[in-house]
Chain A
Amino acid sequence: MTAPMTTTLIPATGDGTTARSRAARRWRRARAPLVVLALLLVGGLLAVLPAPRTSTAPLAPDNPGDTGARALAQILTRHGVHVHYVRTIAAAEKAATAGSTLLVLGDLYLTPDMVGRIGRSAADLVLVETPDVLDRLAPGVVPSFGGSTTDVRGAACDDPDAVAAGTITAAGAVRGHGPGVTVCFLESGAGAGEGGALAVVAGARRVSVLTDAGPLTNRSLADQGNAALALRLLGVHPDLVWYLPSSDDLGIERSSQGGTSLTDLIPPWLVQLGLLAVAVAAAAAVWRGRRLGPVVSERLPVVVRAGETTRGRGRLYRRAGAHAHAAAALRAGAASRSAARLGLPRSADRPATVAAISRATGRPAADVEHLLYGSSPTDDRALAVLARELDHLESEVHRS
């Protein structure tokens, strides 16, 4: 049909680019992803950086809220006290050396083992709101009932810290037994016992018990002599270990268990081989990932099948439960094909059609009439039966 002629085009030399234009194109292509990457990095840094600056944990030295203690920590820092903020017993144990102060805030999360480890440390102790561990850490000091309301109390003892503070606002009370225990800031008012808010146990190391953390908080630090008491209690030594026990810390360290961990069992060369395997995988990805040229697109024809409209109509019939409608279509089709087969004209009326089909199949005319023009089926089963019977009728017409 066509002559076998060929088109030979002028040779194309190069792809019309120079090293400069390629570099420019690469830069243009890489620019947008790089900007996104930079934004992500900056955003990540911004999200990470302010996180350690403040917290909302009560009595934390980085909490600027009412219940926090950042004011106290900052004042101490300004006066040359190094505040080591720790949340685990292991860190507290490590930091609390002789000649430092260990501040323990609350005993809710302290296990007996942890209490023992606090007791073994050489540092001076300041126990705040720790009524349940007093018997082990502060011998001679017992919690006392009463004094549960916060009120202003005078020193009422000869401890120099208490005297310097004068009055504080505090709640709670402890009583002292035995020698070397000084109880200050006695509770006042009706039914007052001899319990006080501060107990100091002198000895090889000084143990101070404060029944209420209120004087340390940002909210109350400036009230009465709270600040003086807090600064004098915590600022004795240049190092302060600020231990706020955490519910996450169970006081168990893997290294202290003495077992061998999984990493100890892996030979060192296996780790290095793993690293090499990563490098090999990366190289394989580069090898397979580089396409030999761009994808060539194909103009695709329409994919809608012609039968879709018919199927859609069938589904509509079904959803609408149009059994009568469907039956009418099946009957009309069967009748028109049978009539055409029997040579009836298109204009043939109903009795003529029925009579012709009846003659051809040998069926009674009433049967044929009922099948082709009878009552409409009302459910799926009746419709299926009708369809089958129409098939039989039609096959009989075609056999005749």
Chain B
Amino acid sequence: MAITWRAVALTALGAVPVLLLPVPGTVLVWVALVAALCAVDVALAASPRRLAVSRSVPASVRRTEPTSSTLTITNLDRRRLRGLVRDAWPPSALPASGPVEPGAPAALGRRAPRHAVDIPVGEAARVVSALQPTRRGDIPAGAVTVRTVGPLGLAGRQASLPVPGRLRVLPEFASRRHLPSRLARLRELDGRAAVQVRGAGTEFDSLREYVVGDDVRSIDWRATARRADVVVRTWRPERDRRVLVVVDTSRTSAVRVLDAPRLEASIEAALLLTALATRAGDRVELLAWDRRVRASTAGRTGSRVLPAVAESLAGVEPALVEADWAGMVGQVRSRLSRRSLVVLLTTVDPAAVERGVLGVAAGLTDRHVVVLASVADPEVDDLRHGRRSAAEVFDAAAAERTVLEREAVAQRLRRLGVEVLDALPDELAPRLADTYLALKAAGRL
């Protein structure tokens, strides 16, 4: 049961009879009359339960990408259905209804879409609700609420129908804007003279004619002797290396940096690296780990790797547990048989590292190239420059200490042979891509 503004207005209209006949009975009779009319309206309203409702949503969508949810409502009642339909979604799935200030809570000013419908007997109507998810993960749809209104428009009936639905929101992959420039750099690596990239892992590619500017040391004299021209050897970056991206989803990944958990920056970096390494011909695998495997991809090749990684990272949430790094090393050992690149997306939080990665890093670096990519907090840098009051100076000192400790821990990791990069959330993905390219150029993979 629900009443409309018309019922309220009709009640207020009772002022006329009350002024004409100012006795208490008038008010009572008028209220009783309005109540009776509402009851009649409710009795004549279409049933909100005799409907067939189906919902269709895209199987998956990228974060911040506009999409829509379509409801198909069939009127199975013997009365015409007039009223309101609300397609309920969590606030984070809805587009901002007005201009939203940056930094305001995501749910502010978002309202579940509601639609006025008028469906004749036996017919169906389709209502489309605009969605724009602002949070990654599987978003379950709420119930579909139907409020029918009687012919007088005074009152009606309401029911919430459970219509299952789920929208899988993939990571935004905002870092893909860095991809073209990194791919260009990757192409530059191709065909470079050997001396510039000479390293243990570079592979012989082909022979071509000498052109002015080539290093004379790369001339292949044996081939030159067979032909009339001077021939040089060219090299190409090694291919078919294995890259294992380990995303740490333990408690340190839950901490909020700027407006998002640390995990979001890690995921962005993982996606950019996956896209880049796949194009470079390497085989990328993913492991999201805290105390157990949260997500994993393996055995995909070519263009199927990136969608698989994005899909499996979509539902990963930070878990409030301490990471089991020994278990992670076991996972890595069981997956990688030959020398590979292992990228750990975590943080160089001194306490967490000392009890975790430091103990197991040696077990990884002896067989693999290990890169540890850490999400730094820009707030610490802001704090470091506070000088306005005594409290700010103390905060600055604390921030200074934090930076020094992180640096010290990073240094200890480097001494163990781990490549450490500590970058702000926005810079982590391109910095990791650059590190990958540098390793590739140096032939260290």
Binding site for B on A (CB under 8 A): 1-17, 267-269, 271-273, 275-276, 279-280, 283-284, 286-287, 290, 292-294, 296-299, 301-307, 309-311, 313-318, 325-327, 329-330, 332-333, 336, 346, 380, 383-384, 387-388, 391
Contacts and interface: CB of A to CB of B under 8 A. Distances in A.
A269 B49 CA distance: 45
A341 B283 CA distance: 39
Nearest to A18: B49
B379 A301 contact: no
B327 interface: no
B60 interface: yes
Contacts of B8: 280, 283-284, 287
B142 interface: yes
Contacts, number: 257
A14 B50 contact: yes
Interface residues of B, number: 101
A84 B355 CA distance: 88
Interface of B: 1-5, 7-8, 11-12, 14-15, 18-19, 22-24, 26-27, 30-31, 34, 49-62, 72, 74, 76, 84, 86, 88-92, 107, 112, 114, 135, 137, 142-145, 147, 158-166, 170, 173, 254-257, 260-262, 306-307, 310-311, 318, 320, 377, 379-380, 383-384, 387, 390-391, 393-404, 407, 411
Contacts of B11: 276, 279-280, 283
A296 B18 contact: no
Given A283-B34, A293-B112, A327 B22 contact: no
A286 B154 CA distance: 12
A296 B53 contact: no
13 contacts: A1-B62, A2-B311, A10-B54, A293-B160, A294-B143, A296-B112, A301-B318, A307-B380, A315-B395, A332-B404, A333-B384, A384-B393, A387-B396
A271 to B, nearest CB: 8
Given A14-B50, A280-B11, A313 B401 contact: yes
A332 B284 CA distance: 41
Contacts of B62: 1-2
Contact of B56 (A2, A7, A283): A7
A292 B22 contact: no
Contacts of B92: 298
Given A292-B86, A292-B114, A301-B261, A2 B107 contact: no
A13 B398 contact: no
B27 A275 contact: yes
Contact of A8 (B23, B54, B170, B396): B54
A284 B378 CA distance: 50
In order of increasing CB-CB distance, the 10 nearest A-B pairs are: A293-B145, A326-B397, A307-B379, A269-B22, A314-B395, A314-B398, A333-B400, A380-B390, A296-B142, A11-B52
B27 A302 contact: no
A287 B4 CA distance: 6
Contacts of A310: 377, 379-380, 383, 395, 398-399, 402
A307 B4 contact: no
A12 B53 contact: yes
A275 to B, nearest CB: 5
A336 B404 contact: yes
A283 B33 CA distance: 13
A16 B53 CA distance: 13
A10 B158 CA distance: 22
A294 B393 contact: no
A225 B74 CA distance: 95
Contacts of B397: 314, 317, 325-327, 329-330, 383, 387
Contacts of A298: 90-92, 107
Contact of A14 (B51, B170, B261): B51
A1 B310 contact: yes
A263 to B, nearest CB: 14
A247 B46 CA distance: 66
B14 A279 contact: yes
Contacts of B144: 12, 293
Contact of A292 (B31, B84, B89, B394): B84
Given A283-B8, A311-B395, A269 B18 contact: yes
Contacts of A2: 59-62, 170, 307, 310-311
Nearest to A306: B377
A302 B52 contact: no
B20 to A, nearest CB: 9
Nearest to B403: A333
A52 to B, nearest CB: 30
A333 B404 CA distance: 7
Contacts of B255: 302, 304-306
Contacts of A293: 86, 88, 112, 142-145, 158, 160
Contacts of B307: 1-2
A302 B318 contact: yes
A169 B21 CA distance: 68
Given A9-B165, A292-B158, A298-B91, A287 B22 contact: no
Contacts of B30: 276, 279
Nearest to A337: B403
B18 A272 contact: yes
B18 A290 contact: no
B21 to A, nearest CB: 9
A294 B141 CA distance: 12
A398 to B, nearest CB: 14
Contact of A272 (B27, B49, B88, B170): B27
